[in-house]
Structure 1
Amino acid sequence: MSVAAAPPDRAGPWPLGLTQGGWAVLVAVLTGAVTILLGPSAGWLVTWPDPLTLPATQWVGTGLEAFLEAIKPAARLFSAFMSYPMAGANWLLNETPWPLVIAAATAIGWYVGGVRMALLGLLGLGFVLASGYWSESMNTLALVFVSVPLALLMGLGIGILAYEYPRVKGIVQAVLDIMQTVPTFAYLTPLLLLFGFGPVVGLIASAIYAAPPMARNVLLGLERVESDIKDAAVMSGGTRPQQLFLVELPAATTQIMVGVNQCLMAALSMVIIAAVIGGFNDIGWEVLLTMRKAQFGQSFLAGLVIVVFAIVIDRMSGALARERERYDGRVFWAILAVGAAVSLALWGRGPDPAGFSAFTSTADAVDKSLGAFTAANGAALEAFKNGALFYVLLPLRIGLDGAVLPFTWGFQWTAQMSLVFYAVAAALAALALFRGRVVLAGMILIAAMILETGIAELPWPFVMVGAGALAWVSGGPRLTALVIVLLSTILFSGLWERALLSLYLSGVSVFACAVVGGAIGLLCAVSPLAWRIVRPICDMLQTIPLFVFLIPVLMFFQIGEFSAFLAICAYAIVPMIRYTQHGLVNTPEDLIEAAVASGATTFQILHDVRAPYAVPTILLGLNQTILYAFAMLVIAALIGTTGLGQSIYLALGQADVGLGISAGAAMAILALIADRLVQGFAEDRRRALGL
């Protein structure tokens, strides 16, 4: 028994007996063959001609700089206004005695989650105090406390606007898509020119970045309010504002609180990133500063402080969203009273929180141990890194033709080897054709072209036609036109080579995440014990801000492309694990019972029932993995990647608005195209399964 079914072609029968997918693959293969054969004599087929490249970066820079100069007075006025709540929150958190702050976190934990959450608040803030980073941590919290209400108000307003006016809903959702796909560093370049250097830039960037999750959840929550509740509000004679604010918004509270949770986590993540230009003595700046000094023990300690904050905020806000029960308020006030009493007892003679350094010796020991480990195993680590670079990453980047050299492989790749390589690929494709697998045959040939040429060296017509063919199969003519137009903007802007470099590194990372994450998700689906072990690891990885992922890879492999690859994989693998496990274990029971009744074995049930039914969910996980990889790609520019991420980071340092926005838009285009393609295939599978 199998629930697998091929999605129907959109346009009926196709010529020569080929399916829609077969024709798409055939067109891509023919285009690739033509460009590879004619490339040596027609260079314009490989490299886009310079005379046809438009100075888009300069145009964007000139236009934006003029616009930013026009609104700069208002922006600086707003910046000056926001500096007051920023300074107030900073003063309040730093001047409040640390026992009272810890007691407040413990009391809030008790109120929303009972004993376990109270212990989390107590131990978490206790760790922050013992780390010696109390003042820096309070500065970071000040940024979060001011930026989050601003983001919540923005998100609430945008969500209500999209809900109340269906005509603007599509526009709002498109803007939210753009905001969530544009790399975070790209936000900072124009904000730096508008608001100047300082913590307020981080505050505003954090609010802008954190608003879309809130807006999406407000819209989703309002749309999910039961029609009976809405009808009751109408029949009671309430005005439209009364219906919205007194009935529908309270009914959507659970979903809105999920948005609050996501907003908090996004704000914390962005606050750390904004430390690059904030010049503020917060914990993000400490991480960046110690990383630059190669003080990895201290950097790891500061990173752990961020992780602790992320876990505490995530768990408490998540409990606030999920749990209806609230615990005894008298205990809440009692905990606060104890904190106040301890603060009064220690007033004027208590230990300075900056004097705590319980983990300084541990950080020093980590540095010494790391030095000893790298000295003893440096050759093995270097060999592992070089093996991955020379035999995996570099061939995928510039192709076997350019990567196979006597220095690395022991021999030189020749034209005869290319012919043999293509002959073997053609033989495998012919075997697949003989068995009626037209699409597989085409995919073998395409993979051979990519491997021999390299992703970063692919001819532009091959990429355009290949992406268009995928879009045709995934979403039809409209998606095809959208993909071609969007890729053309990158092509004409002169960012094509950098875009291919970004596509290479993110693509390799996503492939690794799909293979490894899919395998782990499969293991967790068949083994509850494995899931109990893996799940808390996934929870922890999803709460760690992006910045922190750079620390462990730098500790062992220093800067470079391989370190960036590992950081991207560590950040992007979690959705693949979660969605694979979720899809495989949530097959409807009636399908499982029917398979068991028909005599199917456990493997047959997994292969023929669970896996096909889980494909839409797994594709959603792949979609999230792609978006996570692109998000991390820009952060990885801090440790030596090339491509669009590096351009965005350089633009930030040079205050080059044109380059920053153009490169950010190009990366957002790549992410948006990947998102739409995967969503289209997932929708096809859902239709095929009758979902």
Structure 2
Amino acid sequence: MSLAVDAPTRRRLTLTRGAKAALVVLFVGVVCRVFGSQLEWLVIWPDALVLPVTEWVGTIVGWFLGVLKPIARFLSFLLGFPMQWASFVLGQTPWPLTIGVVVALGWYLGGLRMALLGGLGLGFVLLSGYWAEGMNTLALVAVSVPLALLSGLAIGILAYEKPRVKAAVNVVLDVMQTVPTFAYLTPLLVLFGFGPVVGLIASAIYAAPPMARNVLLGLERVEAEVREAAVMSGATRRQQLFLVELPSATTQIMVGVNQCLMAALSMVIIAAVIGGFDDIGWEVLLTMRKAQFGQSFMAGLVVVIFAIIIDRMSAKLAEPRVHHASGVTRGILVAAAAAAIAVWFTGWKSADFRAFDGIAEAIDTGVGTFTANNGAVLDGFKNGAMFYGLLPLRIGLSDAVLPFTWGFKWTATLTWLWYGAAAVLASLLISRGRVTTGVMLVIFAGMLEVGIAQLAWPFVLIGAGALGYVAGGAKLARFAVLLLASILVTGLWDRALLSLYLSGASVFACALIGGALGLWAGVSKTAWAVLRPICDLLQTIPLFVFLIPVLMFFQIGEFSAFLAICMYAIVPMIRYTRHGLINTPDDLIEAARASGAGKWQEMFEVRAPYAAPTILLGLNQTILYAFAMLVIAALIGTTGLGQSIYLALGQADVGLGLTAGAAMAILALVADRLVQGFAEERRQALGL
């Protein structure tokens, strides 16, 4: 279809699929904006059409859970024994022996450096005074991880052996990883009751998908020659699987073990909300609620140290084994046993070591003094970000621009000027052949004027469908529209838009800042040397701990939640951007340099277009990370679906918890599929 005349002296403007989709969305947006005040149903979904899905889910699932409750309570009783044994063993083992075993394991896996990491890390835990709580946390991990590993291994093998169920397994794994953690804590609380067993089971459920995915990926990557050799040797199918294919996939499976361990530790901390167990997670939560930020910070550091030690040592399992002197390992164990005997005779207990109490008090005093002296600056920064950034995104310029904040009032004249300026800029872009960009500019101007949390439901549905159509065709468009429509009819639409606003703002900030940092790391090895350990640290910190520093300086509120989400979700954007930029084929780089391209031309005209699929995958991970953190941030005052899930957990409201959790998962799943669709489109365009 052409917008221009056929005269040879005129440039022809051809409407691409993206331009057509953008025009449809623009038309729907104009209709909703113009007629929304007269036709309220065009903006707000009628209450008469809201289905009582929450009540239905609560009734059905409640009945089902009631049937399963006796079995679940019996299972809880059985699981209590290994957890008590693990807690007893770790709690009663003399601390020198525990530290010695970890140091010896570190030496065996990674030599002196890894041994020092284990020794210094557990030494800090001992001196912090949280040794007993730390051992209780490790006891939960020690029981939940084997359950997750066995479950993940079985699921991965099933998906590999039965191609017909592979798609269903992938969908289940997607749901397990996108449903917020608090959402399935609610039915587990009803089934298993209040206590640490809930945390154990929740950790096993949360940690199983990474193991299953890596088992499946590892088996699929086994070379055909290896399989053929097993067949030629006369091995049965079971022998092929367990004696040939699984050993060949060991490296990838060990990556799954690493991810499983980290997921279990993260979930154990989260489950402290309903666990009531005397572990580190409960200590962090308790001190946060009391605003004892010094103690909370120290307890959070213990969690971080556990995460770093577990991450580094388990990651070594996926690397080629470097043999270290076994005599040193035995010597460390003998020395640890001797130290344990000496400590037993002297009566030194782990509770006697509280070397950092003064530091915790100093942190509280320092934070109090800093906030008192710089409160105006901190409040100005927070209020500026809220009034001039987050609030306009949430409720729109027409409602956010007020004399109290901006110094003037938004009027109808300003609305006309705003849209007029957007139309002029769009016309300039269209005249240069950039039709899609011009139309999208007007659409974004309208969204900013109205506010994400106040967008009309037809606009959101058609917009998501248009993105799906451009990214993956009619099938993806139907997928996006139907899933979002399912939220609309549950009555959770307003809360979903609030979640979409905050996660969207966080993802935008992560894409902007993380993309810039990734670009910097891509052009400078020094920059990557600085950023890499920071990214490693941020990726090993459990979600819960991100709340501590923002609460110290900005207290409870939406801005604190925004910062916590950004801190957690920015790492994939940095890593994937850098990875995509530095892995551009050498022949493309040589061709660009031969044509006289400068360093920045090479970066933006050669490396960036080739890296686009990888960068989009980083954006995809950032989106999923943002939704995962959004629910945790409900602890510090967010609104939307995260708050509903957290309230449902406190009230043991299974219907609300599952429905709101499903709505959050739908938002994450739709965003995931859309970004994957665009990444696949770019890969095909590049011939990859």
Amino acid at match of 1:452: E
Amino acid at match of 2:141: V
Residue identity (%): 70
Is this contact kept in 2: 1:24–1:473, CA < 8 A? yes
Contact 2:13 2:433 in 1 (8 A): no
Instruction: Give the alignment partner of residue 526 of structure 1, picking from 509, 523, 526.
Output: 523
Deviation at 1:594, TM superposition (A): 1.5
Say yes or no: does 1:366 pair with 2:333: no
Contact in 1 for aligned 2:262/2:307 (Cα 8 Å): yes
Alignment correspondent of 1:73: 70
For 1:670, the aligned partner's letter is L
**Partner of residue 419 from structure 1, selected from 416, 419, 422:** 416
The residue number in structure 1 matching 2:396 is 399
Q: Please say if residues 28 and 469 of structure 1, whose CA atoms lie closer than 8 Å, have aligned partners that are also in contact.
A: yes
Shift of 1:17: 2.9
**2:487 and 2:493 in contact (8 A); partners too:** yes
Distance in 1 of aligned mates of 2:586 and 2:112: 37
Residue type of the alignment partner of 2:193: G
Counterpart selection for 1:260 from 257, 261, 278 = 257
Return the match for 1:137 from 115, 134, 142: 134
Higher relative contact order (CA 8 A, sep 6+): 1
Given residue 661 of structure 2, which amino acid in structure 1 is its aligned partner? G
Aligned partner of 1:667 among 664, 667, 683 = 664
Q: In structure 1, what is the Cα distance between the partners aligned to 2:486 and 2:163?
A: 30
Q: State the 1:530 CA deviation.
A: 0.5
TM-superposed deviation, 1:426: 0.9
Letter in 1 for 2:574: I
* Structure 1 unmatched ranges of 5 or more: 1-14
SS at match of 2:687: coil
Moved more, 565-574 or 234-243: 234-243
1:237 to 231, 234, 237: 234
Structure 2 counterpart SS, 1:48: coil
- Could you say which residue in structure 1 is the equivalent of 2:4? none
Tell me how far apart the structure 1 counterparts of residues 415 and 433 of structure 2 sit (CA, whole Å).
27
Tell whether the 8 Å contact from 2:130 to 2:280 is kept in structure 1 after alignment: yes
Alignment correspondent of 1:609: 606
Deviates more, 1:662-671 or 1:416-425: 416-425
- Picking from 167, 175, 178, the partner of 2:175 is 178
After superposition, the C-alpha distances for 1:338-395 in whole angstroms (9 at most, x for unaligned) are 1001111121423211121111101100110111111111111111111111111000
Aligned counterpart, 1:383: 380
Q: 1:443 Cα deviation (Å)?
A: 1.0
* Alignment partners' CA distance in 1, 2:43 and 2:158: 47
Q: Does 1:467 align with 2:464?
A: yes
1:168 has 2:165 as partner: yes
Q: Once the two structures are superposed, what CA deviation does each residue of 1:183-209 show, in whole Å capped at 9, x if it has no partner? A: 010110000000001000000000000
Aligned residue runs from structure 1 range 20-99, under 5 A = 20-99=17-96
Tell me if 1:189 matches 2:183: no
Deviates more, 1:596-605 or 1:170-179: 596-605
Whether the 8 Å contact between 1:296 and 1:551 is mirrored in structure 2 is yes
Distance 1:366 1:279 in 2: 26
Distance 1:96 1:186 in 2: 36
**Which residue in the other structure is 1:159 paired with?**
156
Deviations 1:581-610 (A, max 9, x none): 111011111111121222221122111110
1:162-311 → structure 2 map (5 Å cutoff): 162-311=159-308
SS of corresponding position for 2:638:
coil
Please report the RMSD computed on the Cα atoms of aligned residues, expressed in angstroms: 0.9
**Per-residue CA distance 1:227-262 (angstroms, 9 max, x = gap):** 111111111111111110011000000000000000
Could you say what secondary structure the match of 1:346 adopts?
A: helix
- Equivalents in 2 of 1:326, 1:260: separation in Å? 21
Moved more, 181-190 or 430-439: 430-439
The partner residue of 2:488 within 472, 488, 491 is 491
C-alpha deviation, 1:330, in angstroms: 2.1
Question: Given the alignment, which residue of 591, 597, 601 partners 1:600?
Answer: 597
Query: 1:331 Cα deviation (Å)?
Result: 1.6
Contact 1:143 1:203 in 2 (8 A): yes
Match of 2:633 among 636, 645, 655: 636
Tell me, in whole angstroms, the C-alpha distance in 2 between the residues paired with 1:348 and 1:464: 71
Q: Deviation at 1:499?
A: 0.2
Match of 2:580 in 1: 583
Per-residue deviation, 1:16: 8.1
Contact 2:199 2:271 in 1 (8 A): yes
Mapped partners of 1:446, 1:333: distance in 2: 68
* Equivalence map 1:548-563=2 (5 Å): 548-563=545-560
Deviations 1:397-452 (A, max 9, x none): 00011111122112221112111111111111111111111011111111111110
Residue of structure 2 in register with 1:539 after alignment: 536
- The structure-2 alpha-carbon separation of the partners of 1:16 and 1:602, relative to structure 1 and needing over 3 Å to count, comes to closer
Distance in 1, Cα, partners of 2:684 & 2:321: 36
Please tell me the residue identity of whatever aligns with 1:482: F
Runs of 4+ with deviation above 2 angstroms:
none
Aligned equivalents of 1:186 and 1:331: distance in 2?
Answer: 47
Partner of 1:429: 426
Amino acid at match of 1:433: I
Match of 2:475 in 1: 478
Q: Does the 8 Å contact 1:112/1:323 carry over to 2? A: no
Size of the aligned set, in residue pairs, is 677
Return the letter of the residue paired with 1:129.
L
Q: CA deviation at 1:686?
A: 0.5
Alpha-carbon separation, structure 1, partners of 2:110 and 2:668? 38
Contact 1:613–1:689 (CA under 8 A) maintained in structure 2:
yes
For 2:519, give the aligned amino acid: L
* Secondary structure of 1:678 counterpart: helix
* CA distance, structure 1, for counterparts of residue 597 and residue 497 of structure 2: 46
The structural deviation recorded for 1:335 is 0.8
Gaps of 5+ in 2: 1-11
Q: Which residue of 2 aligns with 1:4?
A: none
Distance (whole Å) between structure 2 residues aligned to residue 107 and residue 158 of structure 1: 33
- The one-letter code of the counterpart of 1:154 is S
**Residues in 2 aligned to 1:534 and 1:540: alpha-carbon distance in whole angstroms:** 10
- Tell me what 1:336 maps to: 333
Residue 374 of structure 2: SS of its match in structure 1? helix
Quote the Cα distance in structure 1 between the aligned partners of 2:644 and 2:585: 48
- The answer to whether structure 1 residue 680 and structure 2 residue 677 are counterparts is yes
TM-score (norm 1): 0.97
Say whether the 8 Å CA contact 1:399–1:450 is kept in structure 2: yes
Deviations 1:1-60 (A, max 9, x none): xxxxxxxxxxxxxx9831000001000001000000000100001100000000000000
CA distance in 2, matches of 1:426, 1:404: 21
Contact 1:217 1:256 in 2 (8 A): yes
The aligned counterpart of 1:105 is 102
Determine if the alignment matches structure 1 residue 501 to structure 2 residue 508.
Answer: no
Supply the distance in 1 between the matched residues of 2:463 and 2:416 (Cα, whole angstroms): 23
| One-letter amino acid matched to 1:397 | R
Judge conservation of contact 1:147–1:206 (CA < 8 Å) in 2: yes
User: Take 1:608 and 1:380, find their aligned partners in 2: how far apart are those partners?
Assistant: 41
Q: Which moved more, 1:162-171 or 1:593-602?
A: 593-602
Counterpart Cα distance in 2 of 1:44 and 1:661 = 27
Cα distance between partner residues in 1 of 2:19 and 2:587: 34
Q: Partner of 1:6 in structure 2?
A: none
